[in-house]
Amino acid sequence: MSNFPKIANRFHGDVKVAQGVPFCIAALEEFIAIGSSDGFVRMFDANENEIKVLHEHKLKANAVTCMDMQRLKEDRNIFVVSGHIKGHIALYEVRGLLQHYQGAMDDDNDQPSEVSNALVTNCSFKHLKTINDIHESAVT
């Protein structure tokens, strides 16, 4: 089991990075998503590189209290749903990580390949929807 010291240091040790405190975590394949008190979801790969920061400006400072990730078969994109402390639920679509997952490691030395690094650069996300009229308290 890995401790992910680079990710932990990013949240607790890097004073140059303005971000919240981790509140929840989700994992899928080789990806880790961390929801924090600032309302953002930060996605990392297994090498602890930050891939994307998922956010919706209306949810800033609305802590992420729970989340889940799923890859759907139709388009193979990853969908991330996040529940927030004030009752909001947000849905994001992350594109471009299928190629990263399939070609992420160089067979010779278990290091990320240059191809996978380029594909992560091409990764994008889209905020699909925020539901804010169902819950009056934190979503857990």
- Asked whether residue 117 carries a pLDDT value surpassing 60, the answer given is no
**127 falls within a domain:** yes
Other beta carbons less than 10 A from residue 119's beta carbon: 19
Structural domains of the chain, count: 1
**117 falls within a domain:** yes
- Asked whether residue 115 carries a pLDDT value surpassing 50, the answer given is no
Q: Which of 14-18, 79-83, 91-95 is predicted least confidently? A: 14-18
Nearest Cα neighbor of 82 from 8, 22, 24 is 24
What 3 state SS string does the chain have? Answer: CCCCHHHHHHHHCCCCCCCCCEEEEEEECCEEEEEECCCCEEEEECCCCEEEEECCHHHCCCCEEEEEEEECCCCCCEEEEEEECCCCEEEEEEECHHHHHHCCECCCCCCECHHHHHHHHCCEEEEEEEECCCCCCCCC
For residue range 3-55, list pLDDT tens digits in order. 777 777 766 655 555 667 889 999 998 899 999 989 999 999 888 888 999 99
**138 falls within a domain:** no
**140 falls within a domain:** no
Residue 12: its pLDDT value, please? Answer: 63
CA 24 to chain centre: 11
pLDDT (mean) for 63-86? 90
**46 falls within a domain:** yes
Q: Is 102 exposed, middle or buried (0-12, 13-18, 19+ CB in 10 A)?
A: exposed
**124 falls within a domain:** yes
Q: What is the chain's mean pLDDT, rounded?
A: 79
pTM of the model: 0.75
Domain boundaries, position 65: 5-13+20-131
**139 falls within a domain:** no
**43 falls within a domain:** yes
